[in-house]
Amino acid sequence: MTDIRETAKRIAAQGSSTPVAARDPVNQAMINNWVEAIGDNNPVYTDPDFAAASIHGGVVAPPAMAQVWTMRGLHGKRNADDPLGAMLAALDKEGFTSVVGTNTEQTYHRYLRPGERVTASTKLRDINGPKETALGPGWFVTTVTTWSVGEEPVAEMVFRVLKFRPKSSARIIDAPEYAASVLRPVISRDTAFFWEGTKKGELRIQRWGDELRHPPGAVAPNGDLEATPDYIVARGTGTVYSFVVHHHPKVPGKKTPFVVALVELDEGVRVLGELINVAPEDVKIGGSVRAVFLRIDDDVTLPAWEVA
Amino acid sequence: MKTLTAAEISIGMELPELVVDATPTFIISTAIATRDFEDVHHDRDAAVARGTKDIFLNILTDNGLVQRYVTDWAGPEALVRSINIRLGVPCYANDTLTFSGRVAEETVVGRESRFVIEVRARDSLGDHITGTVQIAVPQGDGQ
């Protein structure tokens, strides 16, 4: 979390991005398309005679089109110094993978006229989080974009998005019938986060810097004794890397045969678990699976798999 | 086509309702007219694969619709000075947006007197847009 705040501080300190020029000057063709699609019949945008006699003295562009002129287009890419792109990428890395716009505040200093060419420059205003929202935990990211003609600012927009981790859609299945017989995992200081996660339907994978490690260990893979781990929440989807069908001996609380799968997560690490609700002959290496969680009792929830 | 004057506007006035059919053609044509090529606004299969039930209206169009709604009422020479909108539920294809509005306050910015119009657009899921639009209109009382 401190990383997110540090990243935001660094991005905000960079100030406004290099102005990006609109592909085209303000022009009648794009205005015509826009008013037709929106259904706006105001003649100051399209009728030269009406516009000339109006308060504007000539045709103007709809103010709400300010952002349209500098949209990146079908194959456009964000500039390298775009602060919104940088902040969203940083939050992606922390598992806040979904985004939704929440509000915009646009201020128009004046109307634009055909022939004028705008540039847009964006800065990160602030971030706010983590917050629990109806969509899942997330961060609000607020940017300010200024559109200018030459040096003159003509419009501004405060834009806020929620960058969130979608609520786990993993199924948590009550399985109290195993409570008496299940082999209970040893929960240590190094693995407690994992078992806290399964209770919430989250598959948490230990991370040392950029490297994921499962099962979690006490020391960084590179042996750095100063390093401390955190974790990501895996998407919970993967493929069967290998599996065994257990016929014998009997396992307390289980009907044989059952399948234990080694699943390769989309994130790249492998996790063991029972593959449930499938006949052993239907299991295939490479088959898609998703995580489910078997709630044994208040203390233990085991990860398992089912065919996706 | 007449523009309302300040003398003709009073706090609490209600704007006439506007109903907009959010057909797939409307959602796609407004997305493209606003140069917003995100697939969720024009490709139903892609939108469904991303977990939404259909294509949905984009934000730039919401700004345009709110602008249109207020100037349809206030007249062609009403000057739009700001649009603040908060997005609520999505507006999916084949839903209907119903706009309502009300004059909430009169305010002076610099030397310009403005009216703040509260606007709301509802669809079958709830409030799609809530927000405010500030406009400046001619005085109209001889000033």
Distances (CA, A) of B115 to A41, A295, B11, B105: 22, 58, 9, 6
At B97, the pLDDT band (50, 70, 90 cuts) reads: very high
Of A195, A284, A199, A269, the C-alpha closest to A237 is A269
List the single residue in B with minimal CA-CA distance to A57. B77
* Rounded mean pLDDT, B92-102: 98
At B143, the pLDDT band (50, 70, 90 cuts) reads: very low
**Low-confidence residues of chain A: pLDDT under 70:** 1-2, 168-169
- CA B114 to chain A, closest CA, distance in angstroms equals 13
Q: Hey, CA dihedral for A141, A147, A152, A158, is it positive or negative? A: negative
Using CB atoms, pick whichever of A71, A103, A108 lies closest to residue B35.
Answer: A71
CB < 8 Å to B76, chain A? 42-44, 50, 54
User: Using the beta-carbon criterion (under 8 Å), do B35 and A33 form an inter-chain contact?
Assistant: no
A73 — contact with chain B (CB < 8 Å)? yes
Using CB atoms, pick whichever of A33, A54, A107 lies closest to residue B82.
Answer: A107
Say if strands A152-164 and A119-133 run parallel, antiparallel, or are unpaired.
Answer: unpaired
pTM assigned to the model: 0.77
- CA A109 to chain B, closest CA, distance in angstroms equals 7
A106 — contact with chain B (CB < 8 Å)? yes
**Separation between Cα atoms, residue A224 and residue A208, nearest integer Å:** 10
B20-53 tens-digit pLDDT: 999 999 999 999 999 999 999 999 999 887 778 8
Burial class (CB in 10 A: 0-12, 13-18, 19+), A55: middle
| Coil/strand/helix, residue A131 | strand
Task: Delineate the domains of chain B, giving CATH numbers in brackets.
Answer: 6-136 (3.10.129.10)
- CA A235 to chain B, closest CA, distance in angstroms equals 14
Predicted-assembly ipTM surpassing the 0.90 threshold: yes
Residue with the larger pLDDT of the pair B54 and B110:
B54
What confidence score (pLDDT) does residue A179 get?
Answer: 73
* Rounded mean pLDDT, B91-106: 98
pLDDT exceeds 90 at position B58: yes
A215: tokens are 């099962």
User: Using the beta-carbon criterion (under 8 Å), do B60 and A68 form an inter-chain contact?
Assistant: yes
